[in-house]
Amino acid sequence: MYEKDTIAALATAPGEGGIAIVRISGGKAESCLQQLFQPACAWDSHRMYYGHLMQDGQVLDECMAVLMRAPRSYTREDVAEIHLHGGSFVAGSVLKALYALGVRPAAAGEFTRRAFLNGRIDLSRAEAVMALISAEGSRAARAAVRQLSGGVSSFIKGAQEKLLALLAGVAAAIDYPEEITFEEAAGEMTEGALSLAQELENACDERGARIAGSGLEVVLCGRPNVGKSSLLNALSRQEVAIVTDIPGTTRDILRSDMHLSGLKVRFVDTAGLRQNTDVIEQMGVERARKAVAGADVAVVVLDASQPLQQQDMELLEETKDMPRIIALNKGDLPRVLQAEDFENAVVVSAAEKTGLEELEKKIVAYGAGAGESELTQERHMALAREAAAALRRAAAACEIGEAVDVAAMELNEALHVLGRITGDQVDEKLLDDVFSRFCVGK
């Protein structure tokens, strides 16, 4: 699958920092470490040593180093790490010295790829490494940790075991037709295939996975001057939007990201929804309507100190069938509108910053369960649905009286597809696609 040469890369982010770590993996890792790092002593595996990094007889850095002999390492190869003072020059000098000793620069994700190829982790756990690195919020991080701990592997293994049991029943019907009738085998297989297909489909929650990974998109919408921009600033705890008494101040989409209860939330402020002859404002209103249509949650902002106007009623009608919260703003003024007059409403005051906690709780409720499904990666969900489709085809073949071996072919297809999630069924193209998304050094 790959040449067992020795590779090296910077395992920490490039640029200045407290520490820079150069990682080496392969058969030459120990000898290269001993040539560059002093004292050149008899190394004990998995012990950190203090010493000096030498180049051409000169001390390059005062640092720490550790050797992890195979198979007790990240890649199951000999791995060495040199912990330097952060900075591009020293780290670059070490890498150049390693290349001069016959070490090759590591490709993106090559350390984790070697961990997979050497059997330390399966493909789903390898993908979890990058998911954890790129997690934006505790929800996404928890999903990645669960996957890294073997949650996806365990679920897929259970599904594969059920598939193998179904295949065993089909094989028995084919090999011993005098003992097991087609009808008996078909009945058991149909029930089991449909049940497993439903289980795989239930494990896929695209919306929840997207929200956990990319965040919950919350659009603030309403007519001009109800306080949308002021509410955005209050929720964001910073001056994101320009606030004036002039109607139509906000003419484009404004975004602000924050985290609520471990969930990334993207607040979107939009232009006031109204009819206007101003071409620029009309463009802003059109963008606002598109943002509302594509939002996970619409926060319809009403001025609680005024009766409902035509634009308010039109917006309430427009959003009635989508997830929404009614925010009765300007609650610090004498109120004309009351929360009990609306469904899922909260009284807030952007000026006094009151009611925000209750509004935030209502928003977070729309992200409940995000990232908690068994499968949270797009690739895994696509393959699980493909396997479920093959299972349903197998059940359909039995129901219409086709030969048992037709159902067996579909069951084998489902087994093959599930194997692509964990890497039991893998090819170079799939590996290249998965690991190309990794950073160099991981």
> What pLDDT, on a 0 to 100 scale, did the predictor assign at position 36?
93
Using DSSP's 3-state secondary structure scheme, residue 328 falls into: strand
Residue 81 lies in a domain: yes
Lowest-confidence range among 20-34, 94-108, 344-358, 391-405? 391-405
> What pLDDT, on a 0 to 100 scale, did the predictor assign at position 135?
85
Is 317 buried (19+), middle (13-18) or exposed (0-12) by CB count in 10 A?
exposed
pLDDT value at 210 more than 80? yes
> Phi and psi of 20, rounded to 5°?
-120, 130
CATH of the domain at 245: 3.40.50.300
Q: Where residue 55 falls among pLDDT bands split at 50, 70, 90?
A: confident
What is the average per-residue pLDDT within 309-336? 92
Domain that holds residue 414: 129-205+376-423
Are 281 and 223 members of one domain? Answer: yes
Are 159 and 280 members of one domain? Answer: no
pLDDT value at 244 more than 60? no
Q: Tokens standing for 408?
A: 């067996």
Are 262 and 344 members of one domain? Answer: yes
Is 214 buried (19+), middle (13-18) or exposed (0-12) by CB count in 10 A?
middle
> What pLDDT, on a 0 to 100 scale, did the predictor assign at position 228?
84
Indicate the number of domains in the chain: 3
Q: Where residue 361 falls among pLDDT bands split at 50, 70, 90?
A: very high
> What pLDDT, on a 0 to 100 scale, did the predictor assign at position 216?
92
Residue 431 lies in a domain: no
pLDDT value at 421 more than 70? yes
Residue 437 lies in a domain: no
Residue with tokens 């003419």: 251
pLDDT value at 274 more than 50? no
Q: Tokens standing for 343?
A: 């469904």
Integer Cα distance of 329 and 230 in angstroms: 10
Share of the chain above pLDDT 70, in %: 87
> What pLDDT, on a 0 to 100 scale, did the predictor assign at position 246?
42
Is 304 in contact with 329 (CB distance < 8 Å)? yes
> What pLDDT, on a 0 to 100 scale, did the predictor assign at position 417?
96
> What pLDDT, on a 0 to 100 scale, did the predictor assign at position 1?
43
Characterize the bridge pairing of strands 58-68 and 79-85: antiparallel
Nearest to 325 by CA among 364, 353, 287: 364
Select the more confidently predicted residue: 282 or 26.
26
Q: Where residue 177 falls among pLDDT bands split at 50, 70, 90?
A: low
DSSP 247: T
Is 368 buried (19+), middle (13-18) or exposed (0-12) by CB count in 10 A?
exposed
Which segments within 204-314 are labelled E, that is strand?
216-221, 254-260, 263-269, 297-303
181-213 as b/e, with b when 16 or more CB fall inside 10 Å? eeeebbebbbebbbebbebbbebbbeebbbbbb
CATH of the domain at 197: 1.20.120.430
Are 296 and 358 members of one domain? Answer: yes
Are 262 and 391 members of one domain? Answer: no
> What pLDDT, on a 0 to 100 scale, did the predictor assign at position 241?
44
Q: Which residues, 6+ apart, have CB-to-CB distance to 146 below 8 Å?
A: 152
> Which is it for the CA torsion 393, 395, 398, 399, positive or negative?
negative
Is 371 in contact with 142 (CB distance < 8 Å)? yes
Q: Where residue 251 falls among pLDDT bands split at 50, 70, 90?
A: very low
Taking only the tens place, the pLDDT of each residue in 131-169 is 888 888 888 888 889 999 899 999 999 999 999 999 888
Residue 187 lies in a domain: yes
> Which is it for the CA torsion 361, 367, 373, 376, positive or negative?
negative
> What pLDDT, on a 0 to 100 scale, did the predictor assign at position 284?
52
Residue 99 lies in a domain: yes
Residue with tokens 């007519």: 223
What is the average per-residue pLDDT within 337-349? 94
Integer Cα distance of 440 and 154 in angstroms: 29
Are 223 and 360 members of one domain? Answer: yes
Lowest-confidence range among 51-55, 291-295, 374-378? 291-295
Select the more confidently predicted residue: 109 or 274.
109
Characterize the bridge pairing of strands 216-221 and 297-303: parallel
Q: Where residue 280 falls among pLDDT bands split at 50, 70, 90?
A: very low
Nearest to 201 by CA among 425, 57, 414, 368: 414
Residue 442 lies in a domain: no
Which amino acid is it at 26?
Answer: G
Identify the H or E element spanning 42: none
Are 141 and 218 members of one domain? Answer: no
Please name the residue ranges forming H helices in 305-377: 310-318, 356-365
CATH of the domain at 88: 3.30.1360.120
Residue 439 lies in a domain: no
Integer Cα distance of 291 and 23 in angstroms: 45
Residue 435 lies in a domain: no
What is the average per-residue pLDDT within 27-45? 87
Select the more confidently predicted residue: 243 or 222.
222
> What pLDDT, on a 0 to 100 scale, did the predictor assign at position 328?
96
Q: How many residues does the chain have?
A: 442
Are 87 and 178 members of one domain? Answer: no
Tell me the pTM.
Answer: 0.80
pLDDT value at 65 more than 90? yes
Are 87 and 220 members of one domain? Answer: no
Taking every pair of Cα atoms in the chain, the longest distance, rounded to a whole number of angstroms, is 86
pLDDT value at 245 more than 60? no
- Domain boundary (62, 95, 122) is at 122
Q: Where residue 175 falls among pLDDT bands split at 50, 70, 90?
A: low
Integer Cα distance of 275 and 292 in angstroms: 17
Are 16 and 109 members of one domain? Answer: yes
Integer Cα distance of 192 and 218 in angstroms: 41
Select the more confidently predicted residue: 253 or 128.
128
Is 359 in contact with 353 (CB distance < 8 Å)? no
Nearest to 64 by CA among 33, 29, 95, 30: 33
What is the average per-residue pLDDT within 397-423? 87
Are 273 and 319 members of one domain? Answer: yes
Are 271 and 361 members of one domain? Answer: yes
- Domain boundary (94, 122, 150) is at 122
